[in-house]
Amino acid sequence: MSTDPGATPPEGEMPNPDDLTDEELRAAYEAELAKIRVDDVLIQTVVSLLNLAARRAGLAGEPELGEEPDFEQVRLAIEATRALLPLVEPTLGPDAKQVRDALSQLQLAYARSGAAPPAAPAAGDAPPAAPKPGDSDSAVSTGRLWVPGS
């Protein structure tokens, strides 16, 4: 490969970014963006959420020293995955089963953890009032359970 700044690399080989001008870098970036589809980004996001949630739930092998499960993060990843899944299932085809299975495992781990998700307000309900200083029961549970898959 030539080290001339303006030399074109052989077919299929990526140019060294240090050898490109700002205009050439911009053009290369735009060419890469043109190849990316929103479906690809959504699928990668779902996979990343599932992997991160598995780690936060303690399901991904040995936890790092001092790393405790974070079920609030697991809950957030579950909800985000549930929101995105209908958008990516057609693209995933038969592979959607693997994603659904991973999501089910996370939901099961979350349910077994005993972590209580925040209750969703009913339509038309006002947001809950902030607890007043001195209230003895400021963390009152609504008694509603989050059911995996609902």
Over residues 68-122, the pLDDT tens digits come to 899 999 999 999 999 999 999 999 999 999 999 999 999 999 999 987 766 666 6
pLDDT at residue number 126: 56
CA 44 to chain centre: 8
23-33 pLDDT, tens digit per residue, is 999 998 999 99
Confidence of residue 17 (pLDDT cuts 50, 70, 90): confident
pTM of the model: 0.62
Whole-number pLDDT of residue 128:
53
For residue 138, report the phi and psi dihedrals to the nearest 5 degrees. Answer: -75, -15
Amino acid identity, position 104? S
- Give, in order, the Cα–Cα distances in Å from 119 to each of 108, 132, 144: 18, 20, 7
Residue 118, Cβ neighbours under 10 Å: how many? Answer: 11
Mean pLDDT value of segment 35-49: 95
The per-residue pLDDT for range 56-75, each reduced to its tens digit, is 999 887 766 667 899 999 99
Per-domain residue ranges of the chain = 40-61+68-113
